[in-house]
Amino acid sequence: MPFKLAIDGKPHSLTILARRPQLVVAVDGRRHVVETVDAAGDGRRALTIDGAETGFVRAETVEGALLRIDGRTIEVRRLDAATEASAAGSGAHLVRAPMPGIVISIHKTAGDSVRRGETVITIESMKLQMKLDAPRDGEIAEIGIREGEGFEKDAVLARLAAPASEG
Amino acid sequence: MTPSPAGAARPVPFRKILIANRGEIACRIIRTLREMGIASVSIHHAVEARARHVREADEAVEIAGETPVAAHLDIARIIEAARRTGADAIHPGYGFLSENARFARAVTEAGLVFIGPDADAIALMGDKISARQFAEEHGVPVAPSVMPTEDLPDFLKRAAGIGFPLLIKAAAGGGGKGMSIVRSAAELEGAARLASSEAQRYFGDGRVYAELFVERPRHIEVQVLGDGKGGAIHLFERECSVQRRFQKIIEEAPAANLSPALRDEICASAARLAAAAGYRNAGTVEYILGADGRFFFLEMNTRLQVEHPVTEMITGLDLVRLQIEIAAGHGLPMHQDEVTAHGHAIECRICAEDPARDFLPETGTVLHLDVPRAPHLRFENALDRGQRVTADFDPMLAKLVAHGPDRASATQRSIEALRELALLGVKTNVDYLARVLEHPAFAAGELHTGFVAEHRNALAAPELDRQTADRALIAAALGMREFHSLVFDVPEPHASIGPWRN
């Protein structure tokens, strides 16, 4: 069964083709020979991939890992069956804060039905007001914040109920 | 840190200094205090009780405040903290209270030494109009302008006298209404009439104002030192033209492509201004420089500047030490002709922000910090692993300063250090800064304050190539328990021949 990861929302699948004598991994069908595989754990590490030594720095996150590799920082997220289903399905269930700020007004309460693009919450951030819209048609399951409250970037401010079809 | 040249350290009467600041600059000041054998006192709000500037100081005092920033602006409580800890002097750093004349006065009135200019000098330079007037009176060029008037013929005569291009604005203006750029005398009258009638229509005030429009302006500033008795020297210029959201992100010393004659003229005017003001302390005179070589006074900052390390790296001086020595009454460390510069230095401001989203601030947690080290590098920061980066303070996290024998090598060393630097857990502009330094226009020294906007497309993050993506995915996967066990947990039929490794 392939192992699924995503970079910038783009899914990739890793399949182990061989474990011995060397680890061979296919990434989206591209074959790579991997040596020095004791590269678990965070921090500065090195792997030999296709004969070339690759140094990198890794930090584990809740969603996956952050990597500093080839002079750039890359965020890799785990794609499990559930998140994949919601990504492929009718869009996210969550209304997330795009940046830190405070809530100016809340336009919906739990149980309200919303149309995609309808404003759920108005926030203020960087002295600018911004409307946060429902990502899809559905029903508000929960509003996770009150007017006047502050939040960090990526905080979940509201959640939509999962559509019945997704079970 | 390089010790002050011009001989041995000069003894100062301070045993303990309170730093009315935080973050990297507080840590940088503590470093010099330690070298000078002076005890340090840090201040902090409750949210930053375990911050590095608190841990590194000999003593720390918590300042209550509704917000963390409010605590750092509380003049009465900060002076009380200095008194209670027995500090002799207060160093304000940059930002916060560093250019607050009331604070400087209150510190002095409390019987303490303010490591900075006297309150009157702060007030003089803090007011844009009075500073501009003072500069003009002392032969420092200011951008020519025609003050608001309704007398159109008089306006036209004086505007034409300034030269072109000219920016014409409604005196009561805003939002670009009644504003235009006039490039020749032939266009002047029509543009002025139009601006005036638009101004009348939109604002009910037909007065128009004109000033010289500087195209592709460069930001050049001069580091000065004044003894407070009319003596002043300069420590050469810095160029800070690469800016975003009107704030500097890359600074360097010396400026690129500046003729020696023009450099001398600009630097001399800054020292003249500081001397005329009877300025005491390190300070910075900022200018705007046009492509035609004309330069105009912008403002004077009466404090240590964020980008002071580039000047330190080319001159070998410690500006914080010099500030303290001057505050102690030692005067200037050397004569103007003894100040020398070696090589080139570049500072990159590392900020928690997303260059792809118009440089909006980011928050997060520092999960990993791996800093390149070399004799030619300075990484000024107060970061800790596990530290939360919040919107409480400025998004600047650190400064990476690189020195080299010339501009090209300082640029190359900066790029290498940025690539090597690993700051994971909060989105930063590190890779963006490297792309700026790699841009041919930066290498050519074709800088102006619109650089970031002009090269927006070229500076965007390149698409991730497949090879790097694959390597990142493999490196990420091997750190994940699930994948690790897929690789190493040997399936049943193979168990008899032992695990794959060892």
Residue count (chain B): 502
- Interface touch B479/A68, C-beta < 8 Å: no
Q: How many Å lie between the alpha carbon of A102 and the closest alpha carbon of chain B?
A: 11
Which of A25, A28, A127, A130 is the best substitution to test chain B (most B C-beta atoms within 10 A)? Answer: A25
Closest CA to A92 of A23, A46, A141: A141
Q: Is the pLDDT of residue A82 over 60?
A: no
Query: What pLDDT score was predicted for residue B8?
Result: 60
Nearest to B487 among A19, A71, A76 (CB): A19
How many beta carbons lie within 10 A of that of residue A79, not counting itself?
20
A3, amino acid identity: F
Between B106 and A116, the higher pLDDT residue:
B106
Which of A23, A38, A50, A57 is the best substitution to test chain B (most B C-beta atoms within 10 A)? Answer: A57
- Interface touch A27/B470, C-beta < 8 Å: yes
On whether both B109 and B169 belong to a single domain, the answer is: no
Let me know if residue B44 belongs to a domain.
yes
Query: What pLDDT score was predicted for residue A87?
Result: 46
The partner residues of A67 in beta bridges, in order of sequence, read A58, A74
Total number of domains constituting chain B: 2
What percent of chain B lies above the pLDDT cut of 90?
Answer: 78
On whether both B166 and B107 belong to a single domain, the answer is: no
Q: Is the pLDDT of residue B488 over 70?
A: yes
Q: Which residues of B touch A100 (CB under 8 A)?
A: 361, 363, 390-391
On whether both B164 and B90 belong to a single domain, the answer is: no
Q: What is the C-alpha separation between B479 and B474, in angstroms, rounded?
A: 9
Q: At what angle do helices B128-137 and B260-276 cross, to 10 degrees?
A: 110
Dihedral Cα B355, B361, B365, B366, nearest 10 deg: 50
Query: What pLDDT score was predicted for residue B176?
Result: 65
Q: Is residue B116 within 8 Å of B282, Cβ to Cβ?
A: no
Query: What pLDDT score was predicted for residue B502?
Result: 40
Structure tokens of B226? 């004044």
Q: Is the pLDDT of residue B427 over 60?
A: yes
Give the pLDDT mean for A4-13.
93
Which strand (E) or helix (H) includes residue B354?
Answer: strand B353-354
Query: What pLDDT score was predicted for residue B501?
Result: 45
- If you average pLDDT over every residue of chain B, what do you get? 92
Query: What pLDDT score was predicted for residue B499?
Result: 44
Using H for helix, E for strand and C for coil, what is the string for A84-129? HHHHHCCCCCEEECCCCEEEEEECCCCCCEECCCCEEEEEEECCEE
B134-165: per-residue pLDDT in tens? 999 999 999 998 887 778 889 999 999 998 99
Query: What pLDDT score was predicted for residue B473?
Result: 96
Q: Is the pLDDT of residue A90 over 50?
A: no
Query: What pLDDT score was predicted for residue A100?
Result: 82
Residue that terminates a domain, selected from B212, B230, B256: B212
Structure tokens of A54? 């690759």
- A4 pLDDT tier (thresholds 50, 70, 90): very high
- Domain covering A3-79, topology: Glycoprotein, Type 4 Pilin (3.30.700)
Between B348 and A139, the higher pLDDT residue:
B348
Q: Is the pLDDT of residue B5 over 80?
A: no
- Interface touch B464/A5, C-beta < 8 Å: no
B78-101: per-residue pLDDT in tens? 999 999 999 999 999 999 999 999
Q: How many Å lie between the alpha carbon of A112 and the closest alpha carbon of chain B?
A: 31
On whether both B112 and B150 belong to a single domain, the answer is: no
- Interface touch A44/B478, C-beta < 8 Å: no
Question: Tell me, what's the ipTM?
Answer: 0.82
A16 lies within 8 A of chain B by CB: yes
| Angle A17-A19-A25 from CA coordinates, rounded to 5° | 40
Give the pLDDT mean for B341-353.
97
**Alpha helix (H) residue ranges in B23-87:** 23-35, 52-56, 68-72, 75-85
Q: Is the pLDDT of residue A86 over 60?
A: no
Strand, coil or helix: B422: strand
Let me know if residue B261 belongs to a domain.
no
Q: Is the pLDDT of residue A166 over 50?
A: no
Cα atoms in the Cβ-side hemisphere of radius 13 Å centred on A61: 20
The active-site residue out of B10, B303, B321, B349 is B303
Q: Is residue A122 within 8 Å of A132, Cβ to Cβ?
A: yes
Structure tokens of B280? 């005491």
Backbone angles phi, psi at B173, to 5 degrees: -70, -170
Q: Is the pLDDT of residue A137 over 50?
A: yes
Closest chain A CA to residue B498:
A20
Q: What is the C-alpha separation between B136 and B154, in angstroms, rounded?
A: 22
Q: Is residue B295 within 8 Å of B241, Cβ to Cβ?
A: no
Give the pLDDT mean for A111-123.
87
How many beta carbons lie within 10 A of that of residue B496, not counting itself?
7
Closest chain B CA to residue A128:
B360
- A136 pLDDT tier (thresholds 50, 70, 90): confident
Cα B261 versus chain centre, distance: 26
Q: How many Å lie between the alpha carbon of A75 and the closest alpha carbon of chain B?
A: 9
Q: Is the pLDDT of residue B3 over 50?
A: no
Nearest to B475 among A39, A73, A100 (CB): A39
Q: Which residues of B touch A70 (CB under 8 A)?
A: 468, 471
Does the CA dihedral B190-B192-B195-B200 come out positive or negative?
negative
Q: Which residues of A touch B464 (CB under 8 A)?
A: 7-8, 72, 74
CA distances (Å), origin B232, targets A14, B298, B319, B335: 66, 19, 14, 9
Closest chain A CA to residue B483:
A3
Query: What pLDDT score was predicted for residue B302?
Result: 96
Q: Any idea what the CATH number is for the domain that residue B157 is in?
A: 3.30.1490.20
| Angle A87-B457-B436 from CA coordinates, rounded to 5° | 110
- Interface touch B476/A65, C-beta < 8 Å: yes
Q: Is residue B423 within 8 Å of B430, Cβ to Cβ?
A: yes
- Residue A51 is classified by DSSP as T
Q: How many angstroms separate the first and last alpha carbons of chain B? A: 48
Q: Is the pLDDT of residue A153 over 90?
A: no
Which of B429, B470, B481 is the best substitution to test chain A (most A C-beta atoms within 10 A)? Answer: B470
Query: What pLDDT score was predicted for residue B175?
Result: 61
Q: Is the pLDDT of residue B497 over 60?
A: no
Q: Which residues of B touch A19 (CB under 8 A)?
A: 487, 490, 500
Segments making up each domain of chain A, as ranges: 3-79, 91-162
The partner residues of A76 in beta bridges, in order of sequence, read A7, A65
Q: What is the CATH number of domain A91-162?
A: 2.40.50.100
DSSP string, B249-306: EEEEES-TT--HHHHHHHHHHHHHHHHHTT-EEEEEEEEEE-TTS-EEEEEEE-S--T
Let me know if residue B79 belongs to a domain.
yes
- A92 pLDDT tier (thresholds 50, 70, 90): low
Closest CA to B257 of B287, B285, B289: B289
Closest chain B CA to residue A18:
B487
Structure tokens of B178? 């009644």
B36, amino acid identity: M
A36-79: per-residue pLDDT in tens? 766 678 899 999 999 999 999 999 988 899 999 999 999 999 98
> How many A×B Cβ pairs under 8 Å?
147
Q: Is the pLDDT of residue B500 over 80?
A: no
Closest CA to B408 of B375, B433, B440, B435: B440
Q: Is residue B228 within 8 Å of B117, Cβ to Cβ?
A: yes
Domain extent for B150: 144-212
Let me know if residue B99 belongs to a domain.
yes
- Interface touch A65/B480, C-beta < 8 Å: yes
How many beta carbons lie within 10 A of that of residue B418, not counting itself?
24
Q: What is the C-alpha separation between B231 and B233, in angstroms, rounded?
A: 7
Let me know if residue B58 belongs to a domain.
yes
| Tokens 């910090």 belong to residue | B369
A3-79 matches A91-162 in fold? no
- Residue B308 is classified by DSSP as H
Nearest to B474 among A38, A49, A61 (CB): A49
Q: How many Å lie between the alpha carbon of A113 and the closest alpha carbon of chain B?
A: 31
Cα atoms in the Cβ-side hemisphere of radius 13 Å centred on B14: 32
Using H for helix, E for strand and C for coil, what is the string for B92-134? CCCCCCCCCHHHHHHHHHCCCEECCCCHHHHHHHHCHHHHHHH
Q: What is the C-alpha separation between A21 and A29, in angstroms, rounded?
A: 20
Among A58-62, A100-104, A162-166, B315-319, the minimum mean pLDDT is found in A162-166
Q: Is the pLDDT of residue B474 over 70?
A: yes
Cα atoms in the Cβ-side hemisphere of radius 13 Å centred on B157: 5
Parallel/antiparallel/unpaired status of strands B388-389 and A43-49: unpaired
On whether both B109 and B57 belong to a single domain, the answer is: yes
Structure tokens of B413? 């060393």
Between B166 and A38, the higher pLDDT residue:
B166
Q: For residue B217, say if its preceding peptide bond is cis, omega within 30 degrees of 0.
A: no
Q: Is the pLDDT of residue B462 over 50?
A: yes
Q: Is the pLDDT of residue B439 over 90?
A: yes
- Residue B303 is classified by DSSP as S
